[in-house]
């Protein structure tokens, strides 16, 4: 089976789906690898490193799609809503496409992908089982985002993070609040702690308390309880507006006392809940910083503008999207390892596993012209697929 790696085409995207490091593992089991010239350059992986490991460089995207049995991407059409549709005419029936496809996004886009006849696998749908942990690209990218969000806050804040005792007196540490203690939030806690800040964190899932504390964060307990806070996959669930209103009310004081707030609260397939209102922002000290990692999903702060940094009452609200691309070397390395582990699992002897297991079944999005994924069909309110998987 030939794997093709095109250059990512989303504007500003610097990651690459496979890095040279993983190529020997793929070649060992019989894969051939084609890489579009320059695909890894912006992530720190020039063509020569790929050829050294036995990959072949091809000149352009058309050659990659034309020759590959399996196309490995980071942002496929679906998650790449700017240039992704240019790949549609290059896709062909039976070809395999893997990457971020935003499976709980637009049904029209998914139908366009299905109509090409490709067998597509969305990494977002990876089951959260021990077995699939090494394939979990969503968690890898969340880790990078949590880390980078804190660094962004640190360089934007007009204060120092750690406590310093100097000849010029003592500097008190910055207070950092993390809202949403999932993968990104936990990495944000760890990063802010390494920089010496005093860190607190809140999540509506009670299970997160122990994790926050194990990283040296103070867990903010609110006297409200979410109904079924966590679904079977471990994701936070959507709550009603009265719950969010109560959260905002109770979080007000903690937000006002924080120099930095990093928010990561999202619910799969839903608009992110607003947990910080404009009023709450106005009660923060001048110079404070909010980094809203939910910006692309509507934002956890009422004032967030996706892709922009805005200033309101001297508080900076950073709504950068696609933060993982800003650490392209390691984001690509982690992604490539996840993808390699996934491909080694679903492809055996040059063919997709015949009797697909849970991992293959849950990640397969389209096949033979149809959206075949049961969870996605249910989410999009489509009738069960005729070829129900």
Instruction: Among 1, 21, 57, 128, indicate the residue that binds ligand NAD (CB under 6 A).
Output: 128
Residue 99 interacts with ligand NAD (CB under 6 A)? no
Number of residues that bind ligand NAD (CB under 6 A): 27
Cβ neighbourhood burial of 122 (10 Å; 0-12, 13-18, 19+): buried
Tell the smallest beta-carbon distance from residue 89 to ligand NAD (Å): 34
Residue 137 interacts with ligand NAD (CB under 6 A)? no
Encoded one letter per residue, x for contact with ligand NAD by CB under 6 A and - for no contact, window 266-305 reads xx-----x-x------------------------------
By C-beta, is 27 or 128 nearer to ligand NAD?
128
Tell the smallest beta-carbon distance from residue 262 to ligand NAD (Å): 11
* Sign (positive or negative) of CA dihedral 173, 178, 181, 186: negative
332 in active site: no
Tell the smallest beta-carbon distance from residue 247 to ligand NAD (Å): 6
Tell the smallest beta-carbon distance from residue 268 to ligand NAD (Å): 6
Contact 352, 94 (CB under 8 A): no
Q: Which stretch binds ligand NAD (CB under 6 A): 3-11, 92-100, 115-123, 174-182?
A: 174-182
Q: How far apart are CA 379 and CA 269, in angstroms?
A: 8
Tell the smallest beta-carbon distance from residue 197 to ligand NAD (Å): 20
CB-based contacts of 54: which residues, under 8 Å, 6+ apart? 23, 24, 27, 33
133 in active site: yes
Residue 142 interacts with ligand NAD (CB under 6 A)? yes
Helix 137-156 vs helix 183-194: angle between axes, to the nearest 10 degrees? 40
208 in active site: no
Cα–Cα distance list, 82 to 7, 321, 388 (Å):
15, 14, 31
| Of 81, 128, 361, 375, catalytic | 128
Instruction: Among 20, 99, 182, 328, indicate the residue that binds ligand NAD (CB under 6 A).
Output: 182
DSSP letter (8 states) at residue 44: T
Q: How far apart are CA 389 and CA 383, in angstroms?
A: 13
Helix 137-156 vs helix 328-346: angle between axes, to the nearest 10 degrees? 170
Contact 69, 2 (CB under 8 A): yes
Residue 204 interacts with ligand NAD (CB under 6 A)? yes
128 in active site: yes
Instruction: Among 181, 290, 317, 336, indicate the residue that binds ligand NAD (CB under 6 A).
Output: 181
Q: How far apart are CA 286 and CA 172, in angstroms?
A: 17
235 in active site: yes
Cα–Cα distance list, 222 to 244, 249, 278, 293, 320 (Å):
12, 10, 21, 22, 28
Tell the smallest beta-carbon distance from residue 44 to ligand NAD (Å): 26
In Å, how far from its chain's centre is CA 254? Answer: 27
Residue least distant from ligand NAD (Cβ): 182
Q: How far apart are CA 315 and CA 300, in angstroms?
A: 15
| Structure-token match 């990692």, residue found | 293
Backbone angles phi, psi at 384, to 5 degrees: -55, 145
Tell the smallest beta-carbon distance from residue 382 to ligand NAD (Å): 23
Q: Which stretch binds ligand NAD (CB under 6 A): 52-60, 73-81, 162-170, 261-269?
A: 261-269
By C-beta, is 182 or 319 nearer to ligand NAD?
182
Contact 172, 178 (CB under 8 A): no
Residue 62 interacts with ligand NAD (CB under 6 A)? no
Residues 218-237 interacting with ligand NAD (rule: CB under 6 A): 234-236
| Of 37, 134, 139, 341, catalytic | 139
Sites of contact with ligand NAD (CB under 6 A): 128, 133, 136, 139, 142, 179-185, 203-205, 208, 234-236, 239, 247, 264-267, 273, 275
Catalytic residues: 128, 133, 136, 139, 235
């Amino acid at each position: 089976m030939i794997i093709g790696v095109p250059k990512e085409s989303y504007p500003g995207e610097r990651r690459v789906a496979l890095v040279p490091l993983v190529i020997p593992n793929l070649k060992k089991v019989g894969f051939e690898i084609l890489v579009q010239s320059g695909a890894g350059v912006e992530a720190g992986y020039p063509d020569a490193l790929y050829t050294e490991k036995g990959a072949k460089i091809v000149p352009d995207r058309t050659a990659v799609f034309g020759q590959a049995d399996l196309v490995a991407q980071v942002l496929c059409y679906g998650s790449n809503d700017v240039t992704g549709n240019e790949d549609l005419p290059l896709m062909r029936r039976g070809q395999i496409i893997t990457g971020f496809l935003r499976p709980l996004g637009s049904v029209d886009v998914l139908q366009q992908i299905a109509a090409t006849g490709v067998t597509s696998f969305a990494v977002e749908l990876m089951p959260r089982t021990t077995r699939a942990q090494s394939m979990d690209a969503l968690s890898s990218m969340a880790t990078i985002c949590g880390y980078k969000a804190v660094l962004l806050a640190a360089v934007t804040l007009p204060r120092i993070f750690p406590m310093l005792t100097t000849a010029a007196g003592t500097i008190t540490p910055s207070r950092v609040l993390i809202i949403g203690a999932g993968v990104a939030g936990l990495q944000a806690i760890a990063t802010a702690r390494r920089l010496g800040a005093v860190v607190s964190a809140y999540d509506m899932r009670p299970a997160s308390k122990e994790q926050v504390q194990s990283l040296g964060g103070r867990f903010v307990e609110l006297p409200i309880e979410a109904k079924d806070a966590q679904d079977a996959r471990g994701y936070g669930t959507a709550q009603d507006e009265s719950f969010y209103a109560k959260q905002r009310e109770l979080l007000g004081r903690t937000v006002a006392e924080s120099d930095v707030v990093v928010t990561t609260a999202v619910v799969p397939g839903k608009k992110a809940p607003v947990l910080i209102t404009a009023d709450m922002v106005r009660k923060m000290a001048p110079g404070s910083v909010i980094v809203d990692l939910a910006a692309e999903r509507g934002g956890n702060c009422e004032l967030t503008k996706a892709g922009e940094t805005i200033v309101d009452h001297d508080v900076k609200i950073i709504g950068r999207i696609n933060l993982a691309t800003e650490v392209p070397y390691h984001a690509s390395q982690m992604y490539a390892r996840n993808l390699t582990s996934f491909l080694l699992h679903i492809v055996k002897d040059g063919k997709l596993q015949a009797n697909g297991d849970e991992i293959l079944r849950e990640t397969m999005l389209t096949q033979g012209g149809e959206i075949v994924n049961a969870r996605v069909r249910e989410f999009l309110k489509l009738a069960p697929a005729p070829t129900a998987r």
